[in-house]
Structure 1
Amino acid sequence: MSSPPKTASLSFALAAKLAPATFVCLWATGFIGAKLGLPYVEPLTFLAVRFALVVAIMAPVALLLGAVWPNLTTSGHVAVVGLLIHGGYLGGVFVAISLGMSAGLSALIVSLQPLLTAALVGPLLGEKVTLRQGLGLVLGLAGVALVLSGKLAPAGTGTLFAGFGLDAVVCALVALLSITFGVVYQKRFCAEVDLRSGAVLQYAAAGLAIGALAWIFETNRIVWHLDLVIALGWLVLGLSVGAVSLLMVLIRLGEASRVASLFYLVPPVTALVAFFLFDERLGPLALAGMVVAVLGVALVVTERRS
């Protein structure tokens, strides 16, 4: 009689252990999807179509599954999270890349997020960041810098900031601040919201904002190439439905600083995927950096045994 609950408990424990690695692998493919699709559509238009498709898929699912919808005040908080995590973060990264910033440099700037999150969680959430975790955060940043050290300057220029201007830097910084405050805000105000209804409200808010900006500032022209269709399909199902839902679960179950540290692993994993898909080579420093980043995250996310 006790076997089914025990089996279910073991399955849940296994899923919980695999969740962080699954999230990192899914999230890392976002840069790959952007690289594949952006040649055929402007960045804000790309995101607006993506968010509209996500809402069209998830809203009926939430209704059919009987999701609990938050009250008006909580819905406002959920909308803020959507504007920050989906609108500000993704919009900032996509526009920065479209303005000439390399994906490597934009990834490095956004990877400062764990340090900012660690600085915020104490005053805002009352979470204590230990010395061990602080060391892990610094190691993670150092590992990311090593991985991307050979990718920051455009080929043949030898100059870090060649090919783009201050507007691209501002967009990348907007993305950094948006994902940082989005994670903290989600943990502080939306921890108990039903993930199904919450996702619909988040994407709806982000879609309205990004869609308005795309209508004002872009031509909205789309070239429906197969690469774009593949990228859009994966970004909708794998990233917006899969990875972001998993991120919300991780934020709910874990400390914000620990969840944020997982973002250090995204650039190294992205570089590894790009090696197999686009033949982007990894040098010795990059390989060493991947090891350092993994060690740094391990220091942050693993509990010290008594």
Structure 2
Amino acid sequence: MSLDRLAPAIFVLLWSTGWVVAKFGAIVSEPLTFLSIRYVTAAILFTVLCLASRAAWPRDMRTVLHAIVSGAFLHGIYLGTVWWAIGQGVPAALSSIIAALQPLMTALAAPFFIGERLGTMQKLGICLGFLGVLIAVLPKFFGQSAAEIPAFAIVVNMLGMAAVTYGTIYQKQHLHTGDIRTIATLQYVGALVVTVPFALALENLHVDFGFAFVALLAWSVLGISVGAILLLLYLLRRGQVSRAASLIYLVPPIAALQAAAVFGEELTVPMILGTAIVVVGVYLTNRKDVAPAE
């Protein structure tokens, strides 16, 4: 089976573990501090990989800057705001619903920024994906008092969703060529430009060093920051940006399955039904034989 077919499924499985990592990470470190350490480690590993494999670095400063800017949006602002918001009391389920709005916003914005047009079935797939996410995650709010959810943190979480939407389109606009390994390395530099100053300003840089922290950091770097991000960059380069973004729809339901297994959270019928609808929506959005609507 080709990488084109396997990459989406592997990416979703790897990326969805980020919710479990975020929940564990809040126990052993402050969020922006953890992300800063994660980005430094990922940047070092990517640099070693690039040097060992003799990957070609960008020759012009414009490409370097584009990679840094895209990393600031895709990693620095996006994950920074999401992790900070969860640390401030935004429920993970609510955060995942906000993140699930990204494919819809990407699909709506892509025609204006990069001229992508969606077919009728693709539009239907996006709508089904959003519906499936709502069905899967909304029941987790039953019994949650709205007054307990800080409004400002929700706004910050929404800023993160907007950032990853723009970052995805920005990369499709400006990073058409270049070795994805060196591009990813520079993107983590961009992420650090965002997270380090905010960590210094907002946190005490507290970390409980131990086996739990090392294990979380290892998986965050190797499984998510390296494995998942390389796959995402590959998908963005191989397919339409709106189709790649639609994969985010699968993350909240799968994250719910992982939370059920790891934390013993209840796996409800709406979650199972929502997951099935999401799968159909993602399939329709990613169909390659659909002609663009005129």
Q: How far apart in 1 are the matches of 2:193 and 2:169?
A: 23
AA paired with 2:43? V
Q: Which residue of 2 aligns with 1:175?
A: 160
User: Do the aligned residues in 2 keep the contact of 1:51 with 1:203 (CA within 8 Å)?
Assistant: yes
Instruction: Say which of 226, 232, 235 aligns to 2:220.
Output: 235
User: Following the alignment from structure 1 to structure 2, what is the Cα–Cα distance between the partners of residues 169 and 65?
Assistant: 42
Identity among equivalent pairs (%): 38
1:96 aligns with 2:81: no
Q: Distance in 2 between matches of 1:191 and 1:151?
A: 40
1:63-101 deviation digits (Å, cap 9, x = unpaired): 221121111111111111100000011001100100000
> Aligned letter for 2:217?
L
- Asked if 1:84 corresponds to 2:73, the answer is yes
AA in 2 matched with 1:42 = E
Out of 45, 55, 64, the residue aligned to residue 67 of structure 1 is 55
In the other structure, the counterpart of 1:253 is 238
Q: Which runs of 4+ in 1 moved over 6 A?
A: none
- SS of the aligned residue for 2:90 comes to coil
- Residues 225-277 of structure 1 show CA distances to partners (whole Å, capped at 9, x for unaligned) of 43222111100100000001100000000000100110000001101111111
Partner of 2:129: 140
- Give the drift of 1:178: 1.0
Once the two structures are TM-superposed, the CA of residue 48 in structure 1 deviates from its matched residue by 0.4
The aligned amino acid for 1:89 is: Y
Give the deviation of 1:21 after TM superposition. Answer: 0.4
Equivalent position to 2:193, from 183, 208, 221 = 208
SS of residue paired to 1:82: helix
Q: Contact 2:122–2:287 (CA<8 Å) still a contact in 1?
A: no
Aligned residues, how many? 290
Equivalent residue, structure 1, for 2:150 = 165
Query: Which amino acid in 2 is paired with 1:130?
Result: G
TM value normalised by structure 2: 0.95
- Return the offset for 1:208: 2.9
Residue matched to 1:18: 6
User: Per-residue CA shift, 1:3-54, capped at 9, x if unaligned?
Assistant: xxxxxxxxxx522111100000000000111111111211110100000111
**Counterpart of 1:187 in structure 2: which amino acid?**
K
CA distance in 1, matches of 2:84, 2:130: 23
Q: 2:27 and 2:252 mapped to 1: Cα distance?
A: 21
Deviation (angstroms), 1:281: 1.3
SS at 2:271 equivalent: helix
Deviations 1:201-233 (A, max 9, x none): 110121132112111221001112432221111
Name the SS of the counterpart of 2:178 in structure 1: coil
**Structure 1 segments unaligned to the other structure (5+ residues):** 1-12
SS of aligned partner of 2:205:
coil
How big is the shift at 1:304? Answer: 3.4
Matched AA of 1:81: S
Whole-angstrom CA distance in 2 between matches of 1:123 and 1:208: 28
Tell me the equivalent position of 1:290: 275
* Counterpart residue identity of residue 42, structure 2: V
Q: Verify: 1:302 aligned to 2:291, yes or no.
A: no
Distance 1:303 1:16 in 2: 12
Counterpart of 1:186 in structure 2: which amino acid? Q
One-letter code of the match for 1:256?
V
Partner residue of 2:139 out of 143, 150, 159: 150
Q: How far is 1:305 from its partner?
A: 6.8
Distance (whole Å) between structure 2 residues aligned to residue 98 and residue 199 of structure 1: 27
Could you tell me whether the CA contact under 8 Å between 1:34 and 1:231 is conserved in 2?
no
Q: Which has the larger radius of gyration?
A: 1
| 8 A Cα contact 2:70 2:190, kept in partner | no
> Partner residue of 1:30?
18
Question: CA separation in 1, counterparts of 2:220 and 2:171?
Answer: 22
Determine the C-alpha separation between the residues in 2 that align with 1:149 and 1:213: 31
Q: 3-state SS of the aligned residue for 1:151?
A: helix
Given that 1:81 and 1:185 are in contact with CA atoms closer than 8 Å, whether structure 2 keeps it comes out as: yes
Q: Which amino acid aligns with 1:23?
A: F
Root-mean-square deviation (CA), in Å? Answer: 1.4
